[in-house]
Structure 1
Amino acid sequence: MTVAVTNHLNFRGEARAALEFYKSVFGGDLAIVTYRDAHNVQAPAEADQVMWGQVTAKNGFRVMAYDVPSKLPWEPGANAFFVSVRGDSADEIAALWEKLASGAMIVQPLAKSGWSPLYGMLKDRFGVTWVLDVAVQYDAQ
């Protein structure tokens, strides 16, 4: 079993441009899943925004990003990142979730999603937002 921690940056409508820029700087592969791709469109104008995106390079660089939906508060510099923990085992992710959830505010319960066998989001008792999921392979776009 393996677990990887990745910086997960938050934007409002600029995640694709940011990921493309980081790819141009660091190289690597770009993968993007839109809200439409994940069958999770909540506002039609945001259907093609990034629900999950990632740049991974052979040199070890990795960054994830998404566009915060308009129904959620967001301003540049505030709530600018999540800590993303991705694993290859649902049991491992569930065990980590149970520990992190102690005293946490659950934002999205840990459950199957349209893009992962297991996904959840919580804000821990220190105010840090964590995203946990079982990693699946996406073809780069």
Structure 2
Amino acid sequence: MGFPSFYYGVILPKPLILVMQLLDCLQQCIFISLLQVGLLQYQPTPGFSSPPDPVASAIKNRLQVARFSTLHKELRNGEESVCAVCLAALEARHEVRKLGNCSHLFHKGCIDKWVELGQVTCPLCRSPLLPKGQTCHYYM
């Protein structure tokens, strides 16, 4: 026994390879042309990082971050707190963000991801994330 010493590969004729390369080049030229004209919008490939959004950064800088253990005393007695984004319970050790208008609490990572997706309202009640006096000049 042993490994075979030959290769079962597909060999394409040279003219077919050249036609495929030409079609690929044409596709890229059309894609770039549509981007330049504005008929197509670029969407980054998932898994690759995109440049930071100035609106998201401004919102995250203005939202309060605290440990849930310091904020849960303000909540009504007996009310279990759940992050509406991930639906997991908020625990004393978690870092949370308290929204400006509605005072809803969310895991810091969850609401940050929500903001990075371009959302500027509360996931629960749709009120603006920041109070009127703190609104970003980028939106509203």
TM-score (norm 2): 0.24
Larger gyration radius, structure 1 or structure 2? 2
TM-score (norm 1): 0.24
State the structure with bigger RCO (CA 8 A, min sep 6), 1 or 2. 1
